[in-house]
Amino acid sequence: MFGVTILGNNSALPVYERHPTAQIVTLNDQLLLIDCGEGTQIQLSRYRVRRSKINHILISHLHGDHYFGLIGLITSFGLMNREADLHLHAPEPLKQILDLQFAAADTRLPFTLHFHPLKEAGVIIDEDKFSVECFNVFHRIQCWGFVIREKKKPRRIDKEKIQLYNIPTTFYENLKDGEDYITSAGEIITNENVTKANTPARSYAFCSDTIYNEILADSVREANLLYHETTYLRDLEDRAASRFHCTTDQAANIALLANVKKMIIGHFSSKYEKLDDFLSETKEVFANTELAVEGVTFIV
Amino acid sequence: MFGVTILGNNSALPVYERHPTAQIVTLNDQLLLIDCGEGTQIQLSRYRVRRSKINHILISHLHGDHYFGLIGLITSFGLMNREADLHLHAPEPLKQILDLQFAAADTRLPFTLHFHPLKEAGVIIDEDKFSVECFNVFHRIQCWGFVIREKKKPRRIDKEKIQLYNIPTTFYENLKDGEDYITSAGEIITNENVTKANTPARSYAFCSDTIYNEILADSVREANLLYHETTYLRDLEDRAASRFHCTTDQAANIALLANVKKMIIGHFSSKYEKLDDFLSETKEVFANTELAVEGVTFIV
């Protein structure tokens, strides 16, 4: 399972039962939280997310609709006697903000909170089964996008073909890693002969608040699933630019240029009650688009 | 109209659709917000509170369930182009916490935010029609209670009796203030003779997170309405004390000692799903008690 569950899809003001940005990325039994607007801990309960499984939190930037729920979530982790380490990847000023609030409340967390400041584009998490890279997006203040990639998957043993050779089962793991087998007689049995390629490793790209910039297509290239903000409809391109945001058309252009497989859109301006036009406008340019509806899980 | 609308009645963890502490005090056309737990701005929308009428915000202490919603509310005031001054009365460390968050987001508020640190017990707001005093309560960190008092009301002209005397209407305001009238002949017409007492000035006392301490009865004496925390039922008196909180019995004792007219109770521990026992236990000791149910307005 590699999926993305939307907890909030609105921009700055919470309205129409839409909430500020927060998403859960599920990678088998690991959860990552991307952004954490006010009320995220309530959204986690509403959608029955197992919050104890969250080991990494990524914060794109320090506008409130992307992080005001973080201090509450971390405090609640403490009240719920969490013991596992928690890794927070965020712009540097957040550390002092959190520390001041812990000090004011005389809070002592029962777990270790590791703060990893986001400083330059590149790999920020490198685990056995996945990695996370951050990249620069272009907003009014320092802001980051993220790509979560499955690690390259092992090759699969071809059960029919392997029976033709006398390869010890202890070598099977080496075969999955792509090695050839050399018999005691020196004969080479090529890897391709006894294994098959697995499904390709997938990636999810999260493109947070940003002005339109085609450079982003490089950062999210070939993603299986792209989240891109669409704060405004296409007729408000000037307003979008002046506020360092994007329109439907602009997000769709990035999706096209980057050759992603599918896109979800969100961060809708509070001025729009209905979202239908966001979907129709975007699909005119990039057909495989869906609205990032809260509570829905999109498979990567 | 002098009333208290409950926006949140739960302690630390938001559960069972109960929210952290926040209350709106309505004094005719003025609104005061007491405490501002996470999600308060959503509760304000849910209960259709006219947030533009809030001119004063009082924060009892810096545990997160009493103020984590404040930065979001203030930021939203800015996004909604508020122009009126806003007065914030809170423990001193909050100023730096807010300032850091404004700086990180490059936020420039379009209105003036006046920060008034709570330093000693006494009057903190003195307006034409009401005053607010703060008093010390006894919690793990510095914590304040508040009493909101109507100003003493003017006397009412007795329309029948005043016709017996030739008092100029220009003197009526003096009569309402309690003055006697002296005729040109030197005759004294006593104020009591031509006016009636108005309804007495009312008061609302908010007793935030505190361990049981009978001193509090002095601070909230004779209040028309008292809010007192009851984090635990009576069987958990030891736990209440160890966490600087109160039980049902203890809150009821304060209400009795202080001779208040009515009490509402809240700040229920997240361990309790049902609240019936809070009400029955408290009423056994102090009968005129109600649960501080969210969305309900209690008339002072």
Q: Which CATH number characterizes residue A111's domain?
A: 3.60.15.10
Residues in chain B: 300
Are residues A132 and A240 both part of a single domain?
Answer: yes
Take residue A244 and report the two structure tokens written for it.
């360092």
Query: For residue A65, is pLDDT > 90?
Result: yes
Strand A130-136 to A122-126 pairing: antiparallel
The distance of A62 to chain B (nearest Cα, Å) reads: 5
Which pLDDT band holds residue A12 (cuts at 50, 70, 90)? confident
Are residues A122 and A237 both part of a single domain?
Answer: yes
Are residues A100 and A75 both part of a single domain?
Answer: yes
Helix (H, G, I), strand (E, B) or coil at A246: coil
* pLDDT tens digits, one per residue of B66-118: 999 999 999 999 999 999 999 999 999 999 999 999 999 999 999 999 999 99
Are residues A183 and A56 both part of a single domain?
Answer: no
Query: Does residue A97 sit at the B interface (CB-CB below 8 Å)?
Result: yes
Take residue A237 and report the two structure tokens written for it.
């391109």
Instruction: Tell me the C-alpha distance between B24 and B4, whole Å.
Output: 6
Which pLDDT band holds residue B163 (cuts at 50, 70, 90)? confident
Are residues A42 and A140 both part of a single domain?
Answer: yes
* pLDDT tens digits, one per residue of A241-262: 999 999 999 999 999 999 999 9
pTM of the model: 0.89
Are residues A59 and A137 both part of a single domain?
Answer: yes
Across the interface, whether the CB atoms of A103 and B96 are under 8 A apart is answered: no
Take residue B273 and report the two structure tokens written for it.
């799903």
Domain that holds residue B132: 2-153+202-299
Are residues A215 and A232 both part of a single domain?
Answer: yes
Unique residue bearing structure tokens 């966490």: B243
Query: For residue A200, is pLDDT > 90?
Result: no
Query: Does residue B12 sit at the A interface (CB-CB below 8 Å)?
Result: yes
Angle, CA B90 vertex, CA B86 and CA B91 arms, to 5° = 150
Across the interface, whether the CB atoms of B62 and A101 are under 8 A apart is answered: yes
- Which of A196, A224, A259 terminates a domain? The answer is A196
* pLDDT tens digits, one per residue of A130-184: 999 999 999 999 999 999 999 887 889 998 888 888 899 999 999 998 899 998 8
A241-270 b/e (C-beta count within 10 Å ≥ 16 → b): eebbbbbbbbbbbbbebbebebbbbbbbbb
| Nearest CB to A38; choose among B38, B106, B107 | B38
Are residues A72 and A145 both part of a single domain?
Answer: yes
Are residues A88 and A10 both part of a single domain?
Answer: yes
Query: Does residue B105 sit at the A interface (CB-CB below 8 Å)?
Result: yes
Are residues A186 and A94 both part of a single domain?
Answer: no
Are residues A160 and A143 both part of a single domain?
Answer: no
Residues of B whose CB is below 8 A from A63: 105
3-state DSSP helix/strand/coil % of chain A, to nearest 5: 30, 30, 40
What pLDDT, on the 0 to 100 scale, is given for residue B221? 96
Instruction: Tell me the C-alpha distance between B240 and B229, whole Å.
Output: 11
Helix (H, G, I), strand (E, B) or coil at A189: strand
- Which of A135, A165, A196 terminates a domain? The answer is A196
DSSP B49: -
Average pLDDT, rounded, for chain A: 95
Total structural domains within chain A: 2
Are residues B128 and B104 both part of a single domain?
Answer: yes
Residues of A whose CB is below 8 A from B14: 41-42, 45
Query: For residue A205, is pLDDT > 90?
Result: yes
| Nearest CB to A106; choose among B76, B96, B140 | B140
